[in-house]
Amino acid sequence: MNQPNNPLHGVTLETVVKRLVEHYGWEELGDRIRINCFISDPSVKSSLKFLRKTPWAREKVETLFVDTFSREPR
């Protein structure tokens, strides 16, 4: 199904986290979104586990991703 108005269509949560970490680094990501999985001994694996169980945190991460990368060409 085509979802032209959904900027996250076809983008996995793992890709979202990895691109944000590449762009900001763990420290700045933890400053922007104050959740422990980005602050205390961060890793992609632990972040994914937390974000999949916590809708409010996932929404914050996805919003930051869209805000950060929506101006870039795909």
pTM: 0.86
Tell me what the pLDDT averaged over the chain comes to.
90
What's the whole-number mean pLDDT along residues 41-60?
Answer: 96
Q: How is residue 74 annotated by DSSP?
A: -
Task: Give the model's confidence band at 7: pLDDT under 50 very low, under 70 low, under 90 confident, else very high.
Answer: confident
pLDDT value at residue 56? 96
Q: Residue 2: pLDDT above 70?
A: no
Locus of tokens 């869209």: 66
**Residues of 31-46 as b/e, b for ≥16 C-beta within 10 angstroms?**
eebebebbeeebeeee
Q: What is the pLDDT of residue 6?
A: 76
